[in-house]
Amino acid sequence: MSSLLINASEHILTMTFNRPEKYNALDIDTFKLLSKALYQLEHDPELRVGILLANGKHFTSGLELDKWAPIFAKGVMPTLADDELDPYGISGQRLTKPLIIATQGLCYTSGLELLLNTDIRIATPETRFAQLEVKRGIYPCGGGTVRLPEEIGWGRAQRYLLTGDEFTGQQAYDWGMVQELCSADELANKAHEIATKIAAAAPLGVQAALRSSKLARFEGDTTALSHVFDDMPNIIASADAREGVMSFMQRREAKFTGK
């Protein structure tokens, strides 16, 4: 059976790590499968939002270092094909559709860095997060050194990046890194509940809002504000904008098509 299960339904692409016997450790094959799935999410016009889950007690114990060491020795990530999108958002095209992640048990190293490159994060209060790399003789290279300080503050991030210590889902929620807490058996339902709301909203508007937010994150507020109206002319002229007005006037739920 595949190490990553893929299901597309009702405009939602659900991706589920499926190596519970290995604590969902991320090998290169799974990395490539996830890269292809994210490309599918980005380029399939029927898909509006993605969810990343994991089967078993743990989201992931992190990378299988013995498999990744030869690649890291070259100082690069694996080469991505034209139909793949970097799950860590470091190189190539950025995902413009929302991605929700739901984590339980261990969420170590590469798993935490995956979370930091998603848009909405769900965890259990007991989820165990850690960037353990400094305890393994290396350092985080999937974006954690940049994004963890953005999320939880410089000093707090260094407290965990430089020691490899764990912090919990409850702490991550209190710090604002995680947006929702629930029990492990409710993670998938909570993720789909949020995804369904996003999928019901106007896709062009959702993607424009996310694009503007990401521009601010990656290129700064000044750049983002200078481009804040770039998408507006096309969106105002869209069928979805007309549907939004008509549904409001007719007091009914809007039915958006992404056109």
- Phi (first) and psi of residue 136, to 5 degrees: -110, 10
- More reliable by pLDDT, 179 or 231: 179
| Confidence tier at 25 by pLDDT (50, 70, 90) | very high
88 near 77, Cβ under 8 Å?
yes
| Confidence tier at 56 by pLDDT (50, 70, 90) | very high
174 near 131, Cβ under 8 Å?
no
For 211-223, how does the pLDDT look when each residue is reduced to its tens digit (9 = 90+)?
999 999 999 999 9
Q: Is pLDDT of 245 > 90?
A: no
> What pLDDT sits at residue 74?
84
CATH 3.90.226.10 domain position(s) in the chain: 4-200
Q: Is pLDDT of 76 > 90?
A: no
| Confidence tier at 246 by pLDDT (50, 70, 90) | confident
The least confident of 8-12, 13-17, 254-258 is 254-258
| Confidence tier at 79 by pLDDT (50, 70, 90) | confident
118 near 177, Cβ under 8 Å?
no
The least confident of 33-42, 194-203, 211-220 is 211-220
Nearest Cα to 42, choosing from 83, 97, 89?
Answer: 97
| Confidence tier at 248 by pLDDT (50, 70, 90) | confident
For 104-159, how does the pLDDT look when each residue is reduced to its tens digit (9 = 90+)?
999 999 999 999 999 999 999 999 999 999 999 999 999 999 999 999 999 999 99
CATH 1.10.12.10 domain position(s) in the chain: 203-249
> What pLDDT sits at residue 67?
86
Q: Is pLDDT of 101 > 90?
A: yes
> What pLDDT sits at residue 115?
99
Alpha-helical segments (H) within 142-186: 144-152, 154-161, 169-175
CATH superfamily of 4-200: 2-enoyl-CoA Hydratase; Chain A, domain 1 (3.90.226.10)
Domain 203-249: assigned CATH number: 1.10.12.10
Alpha-helical segments (H) within the chain: 28-43, 65-72, 110-116, 144-152, 154-161, 169-175, 187-200, 203-219, 221-226, 232-236, 239-249
Distance of alpha carbon 231 from alpha carbon 201, whole angstroms: 17
For 160-171, how does the pLDDT look when each residue is reduced to its tens digit (9 = 90+)?
999 999 999 999
> What pLDDT sits at residue 172?
99
> What pLDDT sits at residue 54?
99
| Confidence tier at 53 by pLDDT (50, 70, 90) | very high
- Phi (first) and psi of residue 49, to 5 degrees: -160, 150
